[in-house]
Structures are given as structure tokens and as C-alpha cells.
Chains A and B, each alone.
Chain A
Amino acid sequence: MAVTIAKEKWTSKVGEMELGTGAKAIKVGGETSLPFLHFEGEIPNRPVMALEVWDMEPTEWPDILKKPFDGVLADPVAWAKKNVEYGADLIAIRFMSAHPDFKDASPEECAATAKAVADAVDVPLVLIGCGIEEKDAAVMEKVGEALSGKQCLIGCATEKNYKTITAAAMVNGHSVIASSPLDINLAKQLNILMTEMNLPTNRIAIDPLVGALGYGIEYAYSIMERARMGALMGDKMLAMPVICFVGQEAWKAKEAKSPDEETPEWGALDKRAILWEVVTTTSFALAGGSIFILRHPETIKHVNAHFAKVMESNAY
């Protein structure tokens, strides 16, 4: 008697999001199985990686991180071009200057930077505020308008500021990052609130606020896994691509900073620091992450090799 191979039969699929326009536009999501189980469903799109660009020079960044961007860190346009050279699928502009503790830059100033970067590169853009919710809403309103029609991913929308950001996205054809603090119930609720404003579900990316390897990675992993299983079983309010802000977390880790002489048993810092970002990324890809916001160009090379392998069909 022939052996019947038990395969999971999922009934639903993750929404497919389109970012950018023209030849460099990308699609994410669209999965009908758990990550890379090509034998149980479709994985139509490879996960994508963005490199960050700040609109002001990041003074706190470690030397390893500054080195590949020597000479461009104070110039967002040059920095963005460099990122494209390094193979980033998207550019993530972080409007750090808008933070009241830094330059408290106006939404108009941020919009001018966004426009300049958008004119210089042809890859899709992710536009991220400084993290102060009210300010981010004001910034996204202007930035979203300045890049109208470019199909950017803007955020981060939270329970407090989602209305303004969702409206800015709807009017200008962008998608929205919906952030909730490691809580699947709040993530779902925020998606409901945003779709109730008539934002299509395939224009929301879930940001579960991931931690780095060694810093609570398992909590985010479990939430992403559970959300994805819910999505595949028909929960439309969780059937969105997931975005992971890995760079900001991985480069905060002690393992990415501790010098060789302090912790020689951990291996050489220049390799170790990058590997921290690499392993955090690949782990979250296995949990269902689709969009990764990264900082070091070497990470892109390593992870691309990994993605090429996991995207090879293992269907049988």
C-alpha cells in the first residue's frame, strides 16, 4: 500500500503588497504556506531587504557600521545611491531630524529630503518617522503627499496616530506599517481599525516590534508564527506581510559592540557584529518576515545567499 504523505492543507493566503513603480517595483507576501515549505503551497515572492538612510548624520553608530558609508552619512541622497550600489532592494529613509531632541525638523523639510532621495534612486522607498507618534503623523502627511503615487511604505502607524497616517497613505497610494508592541491581539485590532478606514488589507505591513538574537527574539518569532498560521487558516486581519526592523535591534546588542579585547572568546568583532544582523534576519525570515530593514551592506550579501537557497523549490 502506498504511503500517503501528510501535507498541511491551508485554506487562505497572505496578501500581496506592491511597492515602488517601474522596473524596480517589488512584490512581497502572497504566501499560501508556512515559510519556504514549497511542498505545501506557494511562496511567490522572495523576502526583501532595505538599507537605512538617515536624514541626519548618525553620531552614535559604531565604526564598523559607519565605514561602508564613509563620506555619505551627512548626505541622504549620496547615501541612498550607495545603498543601491550595495544591492538593497529598497531604501528606508528614517527622518531622525524630526525628533524634538535632535533638530525638530519640520514636516516640509522632511518632505524635501524624501523628494530628493526619490528623484535620485529608482528602488522602492520605506519612509519611517523619528518614533514620536504625533510628530510622525505630521511628517507622514507631508512626506506622503510629496511622494504621491510612488507606492512607498510609510510608518510607523500606532494606536495613537494611525488615522492620520492611514489617510495619508490612502490619498497618495502608499502602504502603511502598522506597529504594535509584541502583542498579536493589538496587532489584529490595529489592522481592523485601519481597514475600517477602507485601506485595503494588502496595503498594510505588520510590524510586531522584533527583538534581536539574544534579546527576546523568541517572543516575536512565536507571535509571527501564530499570526501566519491564523492568516493561512483564513484570518484576514492577520494576513499581511511582516516587516522586521532588524538593523536597529541587532546593532544595539552587546554582541555587536563589545570589542575584541573585552570578549575574545566571542570571536572578531567585525565578523561577529555583522553576523548578529544576519542571523537575526534569517531567523525572522523563517518565522514569516517579508521586509527587513537593515544597516550593514555585508548583511545583504550573506542573507541574499541564504534567501537564494530557501527559495529553491522543495516541492514533491
Chain B
Amino acid sequence: MILIGERINGMFKDIREGILTKNPEPIQYWAKRQYEMCAGYLDINTGPTVEAEDQPAVMEWLVKIAQEAAPLPCCVDSTNPAAIEAGLKVHKGKAMINSTTADQWKMDIYIPMAAKYNAAIIGLAMNEKGVPKSAADRVALAMEIVVNCDMHGVPMEDLYIDPLMLPANVAQEHGVEVLETLRQIKTLADPPPRTTMGLSNTSQGCTNRHLLNRTFLIMSIANGLDSAIADVDDDALLDAVAAAKILMNNDIYCDSFLKTFRSR
């Protein structure tokens, strides 16, 4: 289970202020903090307040200072291809691109980019028409991404399909479709693509957010989820993942399993 820490995102006030004032402190604080909380990747997103033409430079700066603070690879997160490429250029280790949709024009940009920089890539099971309702339609879009990755020599272990979870308070019927999608993604290729999810979407605008996120994460792990972009600053979430890894027979049980999960 790879946890991708969501916190370095210009949507958060402290990060936004850090970006505006060129102050690395909040970014580096969250890089370290998420590293301590078992993140395997740091998601890096400039946020919408940065102008498109400034995004490449800001992304480059964020990736550099985040990697200075924590020995982690980054999940370079933007809707701007120039910003993503700027992040990939300065990145140390194996980066992850966040993300492409199943629209051909986007796949034609991002998948060759993943191949060029030997980066992993997140493929969203959606296109310009939006997020499909049924698992079958989500899987069909996932298959488009699988085929395009194969064509460009991006191995399945570097492709993370996101079935797209929507908030429980507005799109409740999507939960079971997402779980079914996760199961079916594992049948699309051999070896199968990996899976990921923007976990906090589950509870956007809801109460008891941590509980909803945690519960859906565990349900998803049981259905084939390999990673999640998540709020890792949550002890109960980490303990639940540690327990799930034991119950899924991914980690070998020992009495100190909670502690072992946290040790790097």
C-alpha cells in the first residue's frame, strides 16, 4: 500500500502562502511530516491561484524544496503539461505524473512524457464527458489508458488507474461502482495495472470525514487498491492500513505490527 501524501497543495492556505511569499517552511514542514507518517510519495500541486505561466517555475521550486526536506519521490500534480514537465526535469528518483484522463489528446501528451522520464503515471477513468456512473464504463476508459501505456512501453506496474471516488453526500451510488471497478481493473492485463484513488474525495463536504475516508480505504484495499492519495496525518488511518496489510496477507504478522508498519 503506497500512501501519497496530499498536503503539499496550493489549495491549503499555509502552502498557498508559502508559494506566494517564496517561503519554503510550510512546504518542508509537510514534506517531513508526511514522511514521518509513512507517505511513500509526496503529491505536489501548485493550486489554482498560481497563474498558468508561473506554474512551471513554481512546480520546479516545490519539487526541489520538498525533496530537500524528505527522501521521497513526488507525485507531480497539475492540469498544465508544462508544469508537470518542469517538475519531472528536476525530480530525483522515480516520479509519478498526476494525471491523464482517457481523452486521447491528453494521453498523447502525458503517456510519452511518462516514458521519457521513466515516471509512473496516474490514469483517471474519465474523459471530457465526465465521470461515468457504472463500473463497466469506468473499466472501458481504464482499458483505453492501459492500451495507450502499452503502446508507449510504459509497464503496467507504472500505471496507476484511479476509478474516481465521488463524495458520499452527493454521489452515494458511486461507492459500489468504484469497488467493482477496482476488482475489474486487475483483470485488464497480466501483470495488471496498479490502482490508486483520491481518498479525501470520498468525504468532501461530509461530517466524520476521517471515518468515511478510513472505512472506504479499507474496503478498497480489500478490492484491489494499491495506493491512495490521502491525508496521512491521521494515526487511526495508518493503524487501519497496518491491520489491513496483515489481513490481506501482504505483511507477515508479528505482535508489533503497528509499530513495524511505521518504521522505515
Contact = CB atoms under 8 A, between A and B. Distances in A.
Contact of A238 (B252, B255, B256, B263): B252
Contact of A192 (B157, B191, B254): B254
A145 B109 CA distance: 65
B253 interface: yes
Nearest to B252: A230
Interface in A142-200: 184-186, 188-189, 192
B256 A184 contact: no
B260 A192 contact: yes
A contact face: mostly helix, strand, loop, or mixed: helix
Nearest to B250: A233
Nearest to B255: A189
A278 interface: no
A235 B252 contact: yes
B251 interface: yes
B253 A185 contact: yes
Contacts of B251: 230, 235
Given A192-B260, A237-B260, A184 B252 contact: yes
A238 B254 CA distance: 11
A6 B253 CA distance: 29
Interface in B244-264: 251-256, 259-260, 263
Nearest to B253: A185
Interface string A215-241: 000000000001100100001111000
Interface string B233-252: 00000000000000000011
Contacts of A188: 252-254, 260
Contacts of A236: 263
A119 to B, nearest CB: 41
Contact of B256 (A9, A189, A230): A189
B90 to A, nearest CB: 25
Interface in B179-214: 191
A227 B251 CA distance: 10
Interface string A232-271: 0001111000000000000000000000000000000000
B contact face: mostly helix, strand, loop, or mixed: loop
Nearest to A226: B252
Q: Kindly state the interface size class of chain A when it binds its partner.
A: 10 to 19
Contacts of B254: 185-186, 188-189, 192, 237
Contacts of A235: 251-252
Nearest to A238: B252
B82 to A, nearest CB: 32
A230 B256 CA distance: 16
Contacts of B260: 188, 192, 237
Contacts of B157: 9
Contacts of A238: 252
Contacts of A186: 254
Interface in B108-155: none
A238 B251 CA distance: 11
Contacts of B255: 185, 189
Contacts of A189: 254-256
A197 to B, nearest CB: 14
Contacts of B253: 185, 188
Contacts of A184: 252
A186 to B, nearest CB: 8
Contacts of B256: 189, 192
A236 B254 CA distance: 13
Nearest to A193: B256
A236 B191 CA distance: 26
Nearest to A187: B254
Contact of A185 (B191, B252, B259, B263): B252
A86 B191 CA distance: 49
Interface of B: 157, 191, 251-256, 259-260, 263
- Which 8 residue pairs of A and B lie closest in terms of their CB atoms, listed nearest first? A188-B254, A189-B254, A185-B253, A230-B252, A192-B256, A189-B255, A185-B254, A188-B252
Interface of A: 6, 9, 184-186, 188-189, 192, 226-227, 230, 235-238
11 contacts: A6-B191, A184-B252, A186-B254, A188-B254, A192-B254, A192-B259, A227-B252, A230-B251, A230-B252, A236-B263, A237-B254
